Structure 1
Amino acid sequence: MALKPILIVCFSATAAKNLALKLSKNTDFWHLYPHKDIFYLQCGIMEAFDNGFEAITADIVDSIHSSAPVDNLITTTIENIKHRFLTTKRVWVVAFSGGKDSTCLLQLVYEMLASLPKHQQRQTYAIASNTLVEAPHIDAFLHNVVDSINTHARENHIPFEILQVKPSFKDDFWVNLIGKGYPSPTRTFRWCTDRLKITPAKAEVAKITHRYGSALLILGTRKAESSHRKKSIQKRILNEDGYSQHHDFPDTLTFAPIAEWSTDEVWAYLTTHKPLCEKDHSELFSLYAKAGGDECQFITDLS
């Protein structure tokens, strides 16, 4: 079989370039694959698609085999989510930030709920924090996602709602920065996280637990995010059902269905599974597409 050139692509050209350079210098790799033509795409994959790039495969069998592990992971995760939903009476609350991980999680939970017979469905929520200081295009993006899913849920009689929470006046960013003289947040003094996100979400979860008795907070945290996040997840004390107690939220346990997923598996799911609502993931892709590094972050300045 004739060996073909290799083209490496990713959501940012940075990772593709680094891998291409490593492979070109790896003698073991060239012993296994003695072909010197290796290339990388010098732009994000979504940017390439926007400009007419089309990915094809010459062998459909290879395509099926390569996607099978991801498909199995997705199926296993969905079945796990469904089983846990049907075997607990706690109200489910999905933590949604608008990023790739929480978007993946939200879609998994929402589509699981939508697939259930009506008699097995029950009220489920997601909480999205509006800090009131997001960049305008991020703010518009989050509102569009929330409105799209809530509209789909109402029109299809699915008991699901994304609740938007925001800080109280006393916790407002500008009230603290200008009015109270707080310094700008830093890595060592991140006063804004508690006031703008945790406190409003905590108050909303308290309302939900007061109404339903207890809640299960569904998190999109993953071990592959960082070594710190991996240690944090591993330190959690799980009960016999595999849930951990949330220290900030009373009467609330936590569950992280995609904790073992890699970043590539998250993107694989998002790129191959269109959401039920009208809002697709194209805008989410564009927010990540031109960012650099191994773990892409949101673009905060489109210029």
Structure 2
Amino acid sequence: MDLFVTAEIRKVVPLEQRIDEAVGALLRLMRQGSPLCAAFSSGKDSSAMMVVFFIAAEKALEEGIEPRLMVLHSDTRIENPVIHKLARSEMDKIRAHAMKLGIEMRVEIASPTLLDSWGPRILGGRSIPSFPMTNGDCSNDWKIKPMQTLRKRLLPVWGNGSECITLTGSRFSESAARGSKMRQRGESAYEPFRNRQGELCFSPLADWSTDDVWELLGLVRAGIYTSYTDAVDVIKAYADAGPTSCAVINDGIAAGGAGKGGCGARFGCHQCQMVKNDSSMEYLLEDPEYAFMAGLGKLRNFIAATQNDVSRRLWVGRTIKEGFIAIRPDVYSPAMMRELFRYTVTLDVLEYEQACDLGIEPRFRLIPADHAVAIDYLWSLNGHWDGFTAIADYLEIWNGVVRYAIPESPVIGCEQFPEPRFLHVGEDWAQACGDTWAGIRDPFMVAMLESCMEETTYGKSNPLRLWDVTQRTVDEQTGKQIEEGFTIDPESLLFFFEYEAERLIDDYRSYRENQGRGWTARWYLQYGLVKIPSMQVLRHDDAFKRTAFKRLIGVNGSTVDVEMLIEASSSWDEVDETVKKAFLSDSRRTALEDAKQSRTAQEAQGDLFALAA
């Protein structure tokens, strides 16, 4: 029984009445001819919602109505393997049951872009994990944004001129906070509401209690209700992992935008750092059936244990503001990126070998080949590692030359974050590099092929002429050519690993340690293995220039002399107020000033005690 919900929600209503009300509301939408779309996670609430939908759909078919439903699912690519398998299995059942009933059904999956995926994002040095008390933007990049992109592309087509209504499994009684948000949005179990983006959404189970949901799934398992699923796998997943679920997608769709404060899920991403302890993983690992996930738990715990170790961070800022870059712990250091990469690829190989022994498909894959190339590109682009370092490690691990075990008790360095310092570099990276050749254009390519290779102009204010580095596809809905984002060409990827990778690793071996010239990244672009959208060309050009500048001042490569950086930079008190405002919010600046005054007062008090002694 839900004890901690408001009185008006905690009404004792028979389940049959709850089902009749939800089915009646869905039937009204079907009779109106409203095209429907369902957000499906394979959790208990969305599963119950799909059961109710099919009850309504069968009634609609009896009335001669032909209901249509598009099911949308979000896959972060690092879902708990148990949930990943469950979701795929349940979606297959949805397709099969819809086909059996003659219901028009379409099932689509939203996933983050290649660069936003966990490997390139964290191990590639684009960001650090979202830890407790931080922004939690991972839920937006891995769940909300991909779903919004998919909905924007598919809903107008699915609606065929009519406005789609999105069904969610949100319930008032999930928590006091969620219930409050739902009321603010005007959600109800009787009629659709509009989210912030003006989209129509509907929560047919809004008034249901947790007991109602489990009772329905129990009746389905017992065969009292016949539906697309027997609910056995859903109930087993919760029984094995504890009473947890993820409602980020429901909240994101209902709100009509990005969520705030992180995902709050405890039964989703196996590398989630937004919770202190992953209780669902701990429950599962108590069962020998799920022992294959032990390495994933070790990796997550290693990342959590080292989150405040500033020696594992990169201290060189990436953005110029008011002529300065910040000198402070930022993303992971090149050494930490490579360490995590080695652990992660080792986990992939061990899982692959175990799966082969069992005669099954691997249950997870953290770094597929295209992600390895993306990480290698980013390492080279940003001057961390060069000479195909990531690919060298990748092949050595997969070929059985070496394996890397995750330490149970990692060595932790300094965990005190210092005040930010600032290094003057100039107005932009081109100015910082001076006369040094820098940027995305390769001197050899320009000299040898300038007159025989067609070039494209990128940018307007500072145009850059370059060979075409974009990937285009034909939109299946409009028939027009559209640019893809950052992509790895699949055919080139196959040829690269089959014929080129080992030779290139040997040829570029001398560039691997502390070079950071961007040789590898340029190779990927020149040979068409990596494709970038035109709107990102100038951004990548700036990154190449930044790498050239870092090499000029000796702070590129796998090791950075932090003491030298601190000595060359200016302290908080030595820069203008405009610089401070450019890098830090008002609240952060106030907090730093208060901390400084507190330390000064403590030091003064200490001096007085010393004099008195």
Query: Is 1:93 aligned with 2:37?
Result: yes
How far residue 208 of structure 1 moved from its aligned partner, in angstroms, is 2.7
Q: Any conservation in 2 of the 1:209–1:251 contact (CA below 8 Å)?
A: no
How far residue 194 of structure 1 moved from its aligned partner, in angstroms, is 1.2
Match of 1:224 in 2: 173
CA RMSD, Structure 1 to Structure 2 (Å): 2.9
Q: Helix, strand or coil for the counterpart of 1:125?
A: strand
Query: Is 1:195 aligned with 2:176?
Result: no
Given candidates 215, 218, 221, the residue that maps to 1:268 is: 215
How far residue 185 of structure 1 moved from its aligned partner, in angstroms, is 1.9
Decide whether aligned partners of structure 1 residues 105 and 173 sit closer, same or farther in structure 2, where only a CA change above 3 A counts: same
Q: Helix, strand or coil for the counterpart of 2:97?
A: helix
Distance 1:185 1:205 in 2: 25
Distance 1:103 1:267 in 2: 10
Distance 2:40 2:226 in 1: 15
Decide whether aligned partners of structure 1 residues 268 and 115 sit closer, same or farther in structure 2, where only a CA change above 3 A counts: same
How far residue 292 of structure 1 moved from its aligned partner, in angstroms, is 5.0
Q: Identity of counterpart residues, as a percentage?
A: 23
Given candidates 129, 134, 142, the residue that maps to 1:184 is: 129
**Which runs of at least 4 in structure 1 moved beyond 3 Å after TM superposition?**
290-301
Q: Which amino acid aligns with 1:138?
A: I
Q: Any conservation in 1 of the 2:167–2:201 contact (CA below 8 Å)?
A: yes
How far residue 294 of structure 1 moved from its aligned partner, in angstroms, is 9.2
Query: Is 1:283 aligned with 2:233?
Result: yes
How far residue 265 of structure 1 moved from its aligned partner, in angstroms, is 0.7
Q: Helix, strand or coil for the counterpart of 1:131?
A: coil
- Normalised to the residue count of structure 1, the TM-score between the two structures is 0.69
Q: Helix, strand or coil for the counterpart of 2:115?
A: helix
Q: Any conservation in 1 of the 2:187–2:202 contact (CA below 8 Å)?
A: no
Match of 1:258 in 2: 205
Deviations 1:28-63 (A, max 9, x none): xxxxxxxxxxxxxxxxxxxxxxxxxxxxxxxxxxxx
Distance 2:187 2:96 in 1: 36
Distance 2:240 2:104 in 1: 36
Q: Which amino acid aligns with 1:127?
A: L
Match of 2:273 in 1: none
Distance 1:170 1:293 in 2: 33
- Normalised to the residue count of structure 2, the TM-score between the two structures is 0.36
Distance 2:124 2:245 in 1: 36
How far residue 218 of structure 1 moved from its aligned partner, in angstroms, is 0.8
Match of 2:55 in 1: 111
How far residue 290 of structure 1 moved from its aligned partner, in angstroms, is 4.5
Given candidates 7, 19, 29, the residue that maps to 1:74 is: 19
Decide whether aligned partners of structure 1 residues 76 and 238 sit closer, same or farther in structure 2, where only a CA change above 3 A counts: closer
Given candidates 41, 65, 70, the residue that maps to 1:120 is: 65
Given candidates 207, 214, 224, the residue that maps to 2:153 is: 207
How far residue 164 of structure 1 moved from its aligned partner, in angstroms, is 1.7
Decide whether aligned partners of structure 1 residues 286 and 166 sit closer, same or farther in structure 2, where only a CA change above 3 A counts: same
Distance 1:86 1:265 in 2: 26
Match of 1:300 in 2: 281
Q: Any conservation in 1 of the 2:76–2:111 contact (CA below 8 Å)?
A: yes
Distance 2:101 2:29 in 1: 23
How far residue 275 of structure 1 moved from its aligned partner, in angstroms, is 4.5
Number of residue-to-residue matches in the alignment: 235
Q: Any conservation in 2 of the 1:208–1:215 contact (CA below 8 Å)?
A: no
Q: Any conservation in 2 of the 1:110–1:160 contact (CA below 8 Å)?
A: no
How far residue 146 of structure 1 moved from its aligned partner, in angstroms, is 0.6
How far residue 293 of structure 1 moved from its aligned partner, in angstroms, is 6.5
